[in-house]
């Protein structure tokens, strides 16, 4: 098992390029099941979650070939409509194969994904939507069994914005008969990316990125060639890395407009952000100002940046309040940040963070993907040496982050424990 060794105190500087989006790639991979033939997806990051999705597709009969950051998926040989627990349990997004299989083959059997480290994330909204489209849903022995001769267009009003649910229903409704309307839909950029991919396959989707999406079903879809959007959470993590080290970096291949809520908070904290000719320059101040945040569905402050922003507030001037409104168990990084000498008090879904003059390096343990990133940020700003263990979480969502940070001047290396 690997761990990271970080010797903090280095101001980051130089250029870094953002990888393709993990959260966009996963549903796009699942969408290839909707059309028989060879799909080509580019700007795909090398990540554990990507490999898991490839294994799921291969188990269904797809032939997958990767060359650099280009992945070719041939779905013409898909002949299995069951995704087993052994595959789905390792990554929740695997459940997104249910809708495409059902829409294309008329039946599917997919394991329930269960919860995860940051809290329960049920798929009830996914199943509610599929039932509205005419699917016969049966839950048995930990599996979802779904049947439908052909899905039919329907109006679906989500109880709350759900990214996975919105993606799932967009895919399924693309092959349904008639028009579907998704109300109270999630608005994340990754949903727009999936809609663009589906439209490139011949789907008729309008309104992605708003809370009302209209899908006019078609009889069949065709394979597509598509380039995945940049990873906005990776980009945001680099922005926080520059801020917490008082650095000055230039970030390439990012779309700043996807991070408006984070940008506004960083600017309020004293961080200088300049977007010129498609390159974003981020300059950290001598002292970070304390800022309150509340996580919200997009376009609000992203829950996937909460842990990283909390690490930044640990060295801010004054006290800040971080409120988590998306997941009920997403403060597990707090106990590890305390090991750096941070001053954090948690009450309910809010954490009060009192900035300290300096963090002190310590051995810490990652508990989930974004918590891993927050510990790296704290280690970059801390005195002495930090050891971050259990970084397999990190490898789920960040492509070679230690190499990218080293390229910016960080003293960081991966070693085998």
Question: Averaged over 131-137, what is the pLDDT?
Answer: 97
Q: SS3 breakdown of the chain: % helix, strand, coil, rounded to 5?
A: 35, 30, 35
What is the Cα–Cα distance from 92 to 266, expressed in whole angstroms? 31
- State the pTM of this model: 0.96
Check residue 96 and give its pLDDT.
Answer: 96
Res. 119: pLDDT tops 80: no
Query: Which residue ranges form the domains of the chain, and what is each CATH number?
Result: 2-18+230-416 (3.65.10.10), 22-227 (3.65.10.10)
Helices 189-200/163-173 angle, 10° precision: 10
Query: If pLDDT is split at 50, 70 and 90, which confidence band does 118 have?
Result: very low
Q: Which positions make up the binding site for phosphoenolpyruvate?
A: 22-23
Output DSSP code: residue 157.
E
Question: Averaged over 82-94, what is the pLDDT?
Answer: 88
Question: Averaged over 242-256, what is the pLDDT?
Answer: 98
What is the Cα–Cα distance from 164 to 216, expressed in whole angstroms? 20
Is 116 part of the annotated catalytic residue set?
A: yes
Neighbours of 128 (CB within 10 A): 17
Check residue 91 and give its pLDDT.
Answer: 84
Tokens of 56: 């799921």
What is the Cα–Cα distance from 144 to 165, expressed in whole angstroms? 15
Res. 92: pLDDT tops 90: no
Contact yes or no for 285/275 (Cβ under 8 A): no
pLDDT in tens, 171-194: 999 999 999 999 999 999 999 999
Q: What is the three-class DSSP state of 339? A: coil
Q: Which positions make up the binding site for UDP-N-acetyl-alpha-D-glucosamine?
A: 92, 121-125, 304, 326
Neighbours of 54 (CB within 10 A): 18
Q: Which positions make up the binding site?
A: 22-23, 92, 121-125, 304, 326
């Amino acid at each position: 098992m690997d761990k990271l060794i970080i010797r903090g105190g280095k101001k980051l500087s130089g250029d870094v390029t953002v990888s393709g989006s993990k959260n966009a790639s996963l549903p796009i991979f699942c969408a290839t099941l909707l059309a028989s033939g060879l799909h080509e997806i580019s700007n795909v990051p090398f990540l554990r979650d990507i490999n898991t999705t490839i294994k799921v597709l291969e188990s269904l009969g797809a032939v997958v070939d990767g060359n650099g950051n280009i992945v070719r998926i041939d779905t013409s040989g898909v002949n299995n409509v069951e995704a087993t627990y052994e595959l789905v349990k390792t990554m929740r997004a695997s459940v997104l194969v249910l809708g495409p299989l059902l829409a294309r083959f008329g039946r599917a059997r997919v394991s329930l994904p269960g919860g995860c480290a940051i809290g329960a994330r049920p798929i009830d909204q996914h199943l509610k939507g599929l039932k509205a489209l005419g699917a016969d849903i049966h839950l048995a022995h930990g599996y979802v069994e779904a049947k439908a001769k052909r899905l039919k267009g329907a109006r679906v009003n989500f109880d709350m914005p759900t990214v996975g649910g919105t993606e799932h229903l967009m895919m399924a409704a693309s092959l349904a008969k008639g028009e579907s309307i998704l109300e109270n839909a999630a608005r994340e950029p990754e949903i727009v990316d999936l809609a663009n991919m589906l439209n490139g396959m011949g789907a008729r989707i309008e309104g992605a990125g708003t809370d009302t999406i209209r899908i006019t079903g078609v009889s069949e879809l065709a394979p597509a060639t598509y380039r995945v959007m940049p990873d906005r959470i990776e980009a945001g993590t680099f922005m926080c890395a520059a801020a917490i080290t008082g650095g000055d970096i230039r970030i390439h291949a990012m779309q700043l407009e996807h991070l408006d809520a984070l940008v506004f908070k960083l600017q309020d904290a004293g961080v200088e952000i300049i977007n010129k000719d498609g390159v974003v320059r981020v300059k950290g101040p001598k002292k970070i100002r304390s800022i309150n945040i509340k996580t919200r569905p997009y376009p609000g402050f992203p829950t996937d940046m909460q842990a990283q922003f909390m690490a930044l507030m640990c060295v801010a001037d004054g006290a800040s309040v971080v409120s988590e409104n998306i997941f009920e168990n997403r403060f597990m990084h707090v106990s590890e940040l305390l090991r750096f000498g941070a001053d954090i008090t948690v009450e309910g879904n809010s954490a009060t963070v009192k900035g300290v003059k300096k963090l002190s390096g310590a051995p810490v343990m990652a508990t989930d993907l974004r918590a891993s990133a927050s510990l790296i940020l704290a280690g970059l700003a801390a005195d002495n040496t930090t050891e971050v263990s259990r970084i397999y979480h990190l490898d789920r969502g960040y492509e070679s982050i230690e190499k990218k940070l080293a390229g910016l001047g960080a003293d960081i290396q991966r070693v085998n424990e």
